[in-house]
Structure 1
Amino acid sequence: MRRVLLVERISDDRNEKSDSIESQDEKLRRQAEAEGVTIVGTAVDLSVSGDVDPFHRKSLGPWLAEENLSKWDELWVSTQDRLSRDDIHFLLFVFWAIEHNKSVMVLDDPGFNEQMHSRTGRLLLHAKGLGPAMELDRIKARTKDSHERRRFTARWTGGIPPFGYVPESRFIDGKTATYLKQDPDMVKVLRFMREQILDGQSFFAVAKALNEKGEHTARDRARIRRGKPVHRRGAEEGVPEQWSETTVKSLLRDPALLGQKKHKGEVLYDSQGQPVMVAEPIFTDDEWQSLQAAVEARVQTKVRRVNGTSPLYGVVWCGECGSKAAHKGNIRSNGVEYRYYVCGAWPKEDRCRGVSIRAEEVEQWVEFYFLDRYGNQPVTERVWVPGTDHSKELAEVKRRIVLLRDNYESGAYDDDPQSYKERLHALRTRRDELAAEPVIEGHWQEKLTGQTFQELWAGGSLEDKRKQLIKSGYRVEVGRKTFKVTPEPESVAETLERLRAEGADTEALEEVTEALRQTGLLTEE
């Protein structure tokens, strides 16, 4: 009795024109019934491309393994390309079948098995194998071209949308396509995050707030839309992902929030050198610029509020070795709780003997000493001024010029030379515009707030004072016999003159100067 293995495959490529699984199965079983053979099994591979090695296919592969070879004698397929579309894989399978004394029947090529056993026949099979291989190349080329065409359109090509957006199917010009639209709930979350960063909160604090509020990440929201449970990697299903300092920082820097389309992590640009837009921006240009300045400022500064309550964390430094002081609380002695500022380097490093000063004393000294010497000083803030650097966009425009020329030389614009000229002119114009833009590094700049420290101290909380001292660049050095505040105080006139020299905003300076003159802090002398 002839023992036959039926083999069926359908590709996941929608552009491949082939028999359905049902059609293949019907043809094979009809032939098996006509010849009276015994069907020992059916290897059905769904959504498997023709370039996958038959030995690596999920369903067929096990039947070709050594332990299963004794179960069948003949392998049947409806057409040769159901076996493989790759000419090398196809020939290797043919030689394998000869070596293991297996017969192969191809329904639409009755002489296939006989050709396997002669040199002339194998030459013909080689030629036959080239046909499906060339068709596979054409399928891949069509698929690639289709993806390329869609890549520079507003259509969403799939995957997890950026946080703030959800996919939406639209019926346009007789076809259904996927686009992105804003999700009001996620937009509300993003605006909360922006407000927190502008208010001086750390990325860690924002992440903690999101986790406490139970806000889901983009991946978890995508799972919920598909009807699947949330899932944190390494945890059981149903446990949501957690926001982290890194995810908050990355999200708030992502140009996808401006509706810009990305490919392999980079923003795509159209033929005019402009970002390809895939959705409506969540933030306006002004909102985005102020957010990026706040994010960059948070990235640049290394002063962070950490665990526990430390009223002057980041302000107090060790006067012995210059290390940032750490705050130690909940120290009990005889039933009394004490707080201390201690050298942050000790005992990990030998450069300091471990200064330890009562926290209440330091905070009282700052209150009196600082206001006595610096009370009339104008309050300034160090703000981060983002730089301008169009290097990435310029490199992308240059790359697109080269690609456009290559396409022109290959004949892609033979029927439309005017389109080529217009695209090339637009790209050259954009290239020249970008090349003319100066590269300006981001930098810190002091900005007057219009207050004096005396006024700030009267109405602000201790946390507000702490933040402002850090923003203004002040530090308090304490030791066994040391209490020093730096930098040394300037007169109001000296401060204004220095800020002018450093390029501070002229209009803002004039407003603050007039306000200080009216309060009597600045005279005409």
Structure 2
Amino acid sequence: MARVLLTARISDDKDHSNSIQAQLEEQRAWALASGHTVVDEVEDRTVSGSVDLPDRPKLGKHLTEVGRQAWDTLVVSTQDRLSRDDRHFNAFVGNVLDWGKGLIVLDDPSFDISTPMGRWIAQGKAVQAATELDKIKKRVTRSRRFLRKHGRWAGGTPPYGYQKVKNVPRAEASKCADCGVWLEPNPEGKGYHLEPDPVSASTVVEIVARMLGGDSLTNVCRDLTARKVLSPWDYALTKRRTPKEPKGAPWDVSGLRRILTNVALIGQTTHATERDQNGKALKVEIVRGEDGKPLQVAIPIVAPADFRRLQEMLTAQRAKPGMSRSKYTSYMLRQVGFCGYHVAGVEAGQTFEEIHARLARVLAEASIEDGADPFSHPIYGQASTKRGKTTRYYRCKTYLDCIDGKNFRADEIEAGFEATFMDVVGDLPHTHRVVIPGEDHAAELAEVLESIGDLEEDRYEHGLYKGPDGAERYRRMMGRLEERKTALEGLPSRKAEVREEPSGMTIREYWASLDYADRGHWLRSIGMRSLVTRQTDNMPAPGSPVIVTVFPPGFRENALRWAQEQR
């Protein structure tokens, strides 16, 4: 009797589907009746038949040199469950023969790859399965294109912030007053459309507001996880047809970035124009309507102007140097504290007074001399644990070449910074930035110009819109875009204003309201800097840190101005 590997696959694992279970039950019954030993069961859920067998999440490990040693025969319920790609199927059959293994297809007793005639018949069936898959793909593509065009949800998991809602019978086309989404006549109320989900949409609004206010992806994820706000993956589990218990998955930065860069937040959608052999999207474009503008398929959760600002911020954060992830990123003075011993002109053997006179002169000059950048050598947080006790400390970026070369205890340097900082500005009013929206049509005009360029490229470089019908469609779309371009160029423009307004707290009170991580984030967001040295042997506390705080331009002046206006 043989050692058999039972395999099951389903392309779309819906909650109500029992396909995997049915396949395995059939195979178990066959193995029991035949007296074979089942060595393992493979369940590849939500895996397309076009994915090559070695690349499948569950089956792949059983096809390696080590994995093959555990089984003699691979069992599948139907040939199309094995593969819907004739090239993959033929290659796999060749491998099975080379390995000296067997292959059983339960619904086809005549299936036999041991003879040329059997392989020829099996190859014919593989071609049929591949042809059917190609038809399915084209049918699904046409269906999705139609549904998108008519304002209906094309299927799958809704983007975070939205929920699918069943359509109601609609005798005539209607237009959403909030976002301009056109819903075509749908007398029978078929299908679904997207609407903002009350719970997840409110979370998106909070996240966007925090990001635009200067918060970071890392801090937002940490806070949402601490508050036990369900992550997108967990929330999707609760929204299934058969709700499932959340797994407690935390919010992660990469996942949040994908949500915040998705045009779904402004009610638009995308489609893949190029995929790899496994169906993964390689190139994605925004779906456009007959007028050449992005097709609006749902009510926006985020205002388009805020969405554009958010994309600029996320792009800038990703491109910003020195922002690589580290296990020490939680230290409060990260990117705030810098070693004062690396300022040009500071040399070994100088007295404390000479060193600080040089620091004061460099900082007062307001322009950086060659090599005199006072903030060239940041101090980094480190930790060591001995006998169960953890000590946190900072040290210079290049401590081996530093004049001082010693560690600073984190509690001492952070306490020293806080005392110096509060002595200067602690009793002044805390302010926060308030954005006064402007009237700027440049982004929409740029979008229209981009659409005009895309249309011209499609027609004159890619040969689209051919024939009388195509030419008429091109003229209609181009005419609408030109009309919109002319209208936008005639509208007034007023820049948005950013103002500092008092929050009602002093800086000391605001500081007390923040936790450790948020204090560091706030210092970095306002551009705070400090230079660190230490007392020398002839001073009251030799070795203790000495902090020189460097406030961002205008910070103290603005706070003093608000203090005077409030008197």
What is the TM-score with the length of structure 1 in the denominator? 0.54
Alpha-carbon distance in structure 2 between the residues aligned to 1:383 and 1:293: 18
Give the structure 1 partner of residue 187 of structure 2. Answer: 173
Q: 1:433 to 1:338 in 2, by over 3 A?
A: same
Give the structure 2 partner of residue 161 of structure 1. Answer: 158
Match status 1:254 vs 2:262:
yes
**8 Å CA contact 2:433, 2:500 repeated in 1:** no
Matches within 5 A, 1:387-402: 394-402=449-457
Unmatched 5+ stretches in structure 1: 1-11, 13-42, 90-132, 231-237, 438-444, 497-511, 521-525
Q: 1:155 to 1:62 in 2, by over 3 A?
A: farther
Alpha-carbon distance in structure 2 between the residues aligned to 1:142 and 1:363: 63
Which amino acid letter does the alignment assign opposite residue 230 of structure 2?
A: E
1:75 is displaced (CA, Å) by 7.6
Alpha-carbon distance in structure 2 between the residues aligned to 1:305 and 1:196: 23
Give the structure 2 partner of residue 97 of structure 1. Answer: none
Q: 1:402 to 1:140 in 2, by over 3 A?
A: farther
Matches within 5 A, 1:237-276: 242-264=250-272, 265-276=284-295
Q: 1:82 to 1:402 in 2, by over 3 A?
A: same
Which amino acid letter does the alignment assign opposite residue 550 of structure 2?
A: T
**8 Å CA contact 1:340, 1:359 repeated in 2:** yes
Which amino acid letter does the alignment assign opposite residue 456 of structure 1?
A: I
Which amino acid letter does the alignment assign opposite residue 485 of structure 1?
A: T
**8 Å CA contact 2:267, 2:299 repeated in 1:** yes
Give the structure 1 partner of residue 198 of structure 2. Answer: 184
Alpha-carbon distance in structure 1 between the residues aligned to 2:523 and 2:83: 64
Q: How many percent of aligned residue pairs carry the same amino acid?
A: 22
Match status 1:317 vs 2:364:
no
Q: 1:517 to 1:53 in 2, by over 3 A?
A: closer
How many pairs were matched up? 390
Alpha-carbon distance in structure 1 between the residues aligned to 2:192 and 2:453: 30
Q: 1:374 to 1:400 in 2, by over 3 A?
A: same
**8 Å CA contact 2:336, 2:524 repeated in 1:** yes
Give the structure 2 partner of residue 5 of structure 1. Answer: none
**8 Å CA contact 1:316, 1:325 repeated in 2:** yes
**8 Å CA contact 1:457, 1:465 repeated in 2:** no
Give the structure 1 partner of residue 549 of structure 2. Answer: 485
1:315 is displaced (CA, Å) by 2.7
Which amino acid letter does the alignment assign opposite residue 405 of structure 2?
A: G
Which amino acid letter does the alignment assign opposite residue 197 of structure 2?
A: D
Q: 1:49 to 1:355 in 2, by over 3 A?
A: closer
**8 Å CA contact 1:357, 1:479 repeated in 2:** no
Which segment drifts farther, 214-223 or 278-287?
214-223
Unmatched 5+ stretches in structure 2: 1-11, 13-76, 94-104, 170-185, 273-283, 343-375, 492-496, 536-545
Where 1:167 maps in the other structure, the secondary structure is strand
Matches within 5 A, 1:182-331: 182-194=196-208, 196-197=210-211, 201-211=215-225, 213=228, 215-218=230-233, 221=236, 225=240, 227=242, 242-264=250-272, 265-285=284-304, 288=307, 300=320, 310=331, 312-321=333-342, 322-327=376-381
Give the structure 1 partner of residue 149 of structure 2. Answer: 152
1:255 is displaced (CA, Å) by 1.8
Give the structure 2 partner of residue 67 of structure 1. Answer: 114
Q: 1:436 to 1:399 in 2, by over 3 A?
A: farther
1:278 is displaced (CA, Å) by 1.7
Alpha-carbon distance in structure 2 between the residues aligned to 1:193 and 1:446: 20
Alpha-carbon RMSD across the aligned residues, in angstroms, is: 5.8
**8 Å CA contact 1:346, 1:353 repeated in 2:** no
- Alignment counterpart, residue 412 of structure 1, candidates 428, 444, 469: 469
Give the structure 2 partner of residue 343 of structure 1. Answer: 395
**8 Å CA contact 2:433, 2:498 repeated in 1:** yes
Structure with the greater alpha carbon radius of gyration: 1
Give the structure 1 partner of residue 526 of structure 2. Answer: 472
**8 Å CA contact 1:332, 1:338 repeated in 2:** yes
Where 2:194 maps in the other structure, the secondary structure is strand
Where 2:193 maps in the other structure, the secondary structure is strand
Give the structure 2 partner of residue 457 of structure 1. Answer: 508
Alpha-carbon distance in structure 1 between the residues aligned to 2:223 and 2:135: 52
Alpha-carbon distance in structure 1 between the residues aligned to 2:299 and 2:261: 17
1:162 is displaced (CA, Å) by 0.8
